[in-house]
Amino acid sequence: MQRLLLIGAGHASAELLRRWAAAPLPEVELTLVSLEPLAPYSGMVPGWLAGDYAWEDCCIDFARLAARAGARLVVDRVVALDAMRREVLLAGGSVLAADTMVLNIGSTVRTPAIHHEPSPVLLATRPLGALRRAVDTLVERWRDVPQAPELVGVGGGAAGVETLLALRRRMLRAGRVPRCTLLSRDAELLRGFNATARRLTRAALTGAAVALRGGFDVQAVEPRALRAPDGQAQAADLVLWAAGAAAHAWPAASGLDVDAGGFVRVDATLRSTSHPWLFAVGDCAAFDPPLPKAGVYSVRMGPVLAHNVVATLAARELRAYQPQRDQLVLLNTADGRAIASRGRLAAAGRWAMRWKHTIDRRFVERYR
């Protein structure tokens, strides 16, 4: 009996389980470790944050998906890996061993320490489960605050733009009109996007009365403010932190080959460059050349991962993953519109949001 362990309920794990349910390998014990039975599809999270979707509408039910695949679901999180023994330690104290493992644990964000009171409320966009639990409570809390709250987004990438506009929309629906500012470490917004997409995004922020401050690198959190190293300050009551994907600490501590940021190095077949019995996909994986930390890549890795895991267990030939060159990005501006960008082309409108809605719902429905 071979043992296959999936760590993390990411997009690629969902595809592996879907295909496994259709064609399982005999004599393989399959286990999935996930922090929660429901895992959100990242493309729909801004829509949920804006109040357009219920949380369940955005999620893949991994409990049902695992059951369909004949897999055991363990609701817990991995805190350590013993690469020599091929064992993982769970937060609850259990130890799981496997012959083949898959890491699909995504990334996290690192926020600055808070040493002052009263301090802004800091919301990290990862992990998504924690964000979900905090948002409803906070929106209700701000409903009773007499003055307009200072809502600040940190991060000039697509996630920073989408989540700030979405939370602003959620607060408007709750009867509050926040003063909004988006802080970006880079002078230019949306690095890596084409000029038209950046222009359309700036227009969407202006239309929503969001002030944009480029070149602002948050160094410290002070009483009701954020401070940059050069002394700049930004008033803040509520901070939505979407800056910089950071690696989880335990893969690097296990002795796996990792890059300078702590992400697991993989080859073209998605296997660890130091431990070929381990696969890593999605944001937790490091490629050469590097790939952006975006869900669209993890989705495309799913079929290759599913094939290569089965090929490993059955001693067959593995397949190389080929990243798409010009991926389609549909950015939700939380006003019934979206910005569509691919390569050098970009456009915005309600049609783009309808397109995004169709793609997102279709993706989630395939796992139901």
Q: Kindly give the pairing relationship between strand 179-184 and strand 210-214.
A: parallel
Give me 188's structure tokens. 């230019």
- CA dihedral (204, 205, 209, 211) in degrees, to 10, reads -160
pLDDT given for residue 61 in this prediction: 95
Determine the pLDDT at residue 132.
84
pLDDT at 187: 86
* pLDDT reported for residue 243: 84
Quote the tokens at residue 68. 């369909």
Task: Answer whether residue 197 shows pLDDT above 80.
Answer: yes
CB 270 within 8 A of CB 308: yes
Nearest CA-CA partner of 245 in 46, 124, 110: 110
Q: For residue 150, give Cα distances in angstroms to 153, 292, 332, 334.
A: 10, 30, 22, 19
Q: What is the pLDDT of residues 71-106, one digit of tens each?
A: 999 999 999 999 999 999 999 999 999 999 999 999
Q: Could you tell me the pTM of the whole model?
A: 0.91
**pLDDT for 4:** 98
Supply the pLDDT for residue 74.
98
pLDDT band at 47 (very low <50, low <70, confident <90, very high): very high
Q: What is the mean pLDDT of the chain?
A: 91
Selected from 2.60.40.420, 3.30.70.20, 1.20.1300.10, 3.50.50.60, the CATH number assigned to the domain covering 2-108+246-313 reads 3.50.50.60
Query: Which helix or strand (DSSP H or E) is residue 333 part of?
Result: none
Starting at the edge strand found earlier in the chain, the sheet holding 72-75 runs 72-75, 28-34, 2-7, 100-103, 278-280
pLDDT for the residue 136: 75
How far apart are alpha carbons 63 and 83 in whole angstroms?
27
Q: What's the CATH superfamily of 121-244?
A: FAD/NAD(P)-binding domain (3.50.50.60)
pLDDT digits (tens, 9 = 90+) for 233-251: 999 988 999 887 889 999 9
Reduce the DSSP state of residue 292 to 3 states and report it: coil
Residues 6+ apart with CB under 8 A from 9: 32, 34, 35, 36, 39, 60, 62, 104
Instruction: Give domain limits for the chain.
Output: 2-108+246-313, 121-244
How far is residue 72's CA from residue 65's CA, in Å, rounded to a whole number?
10
Q: From start to end of 191-313, where are the E strands? A: 210-214, 220-222, 225-227, 233-235, 238-241, 264-265, 278-280, 285-286
pLDDT at 142 over 70: no
pLDDT tens for 323-337 read 887 889 999 999 999
| Per-residue pLDDT at 140 | 67
Question: Given its phi and psi angles, is residue 34 left (phi above 0), alpha (psi -120 to 50 degrees) or beta?
Answer: beta
Whether 2-108+246-313 and 121-244 share one fold: the answer is yes
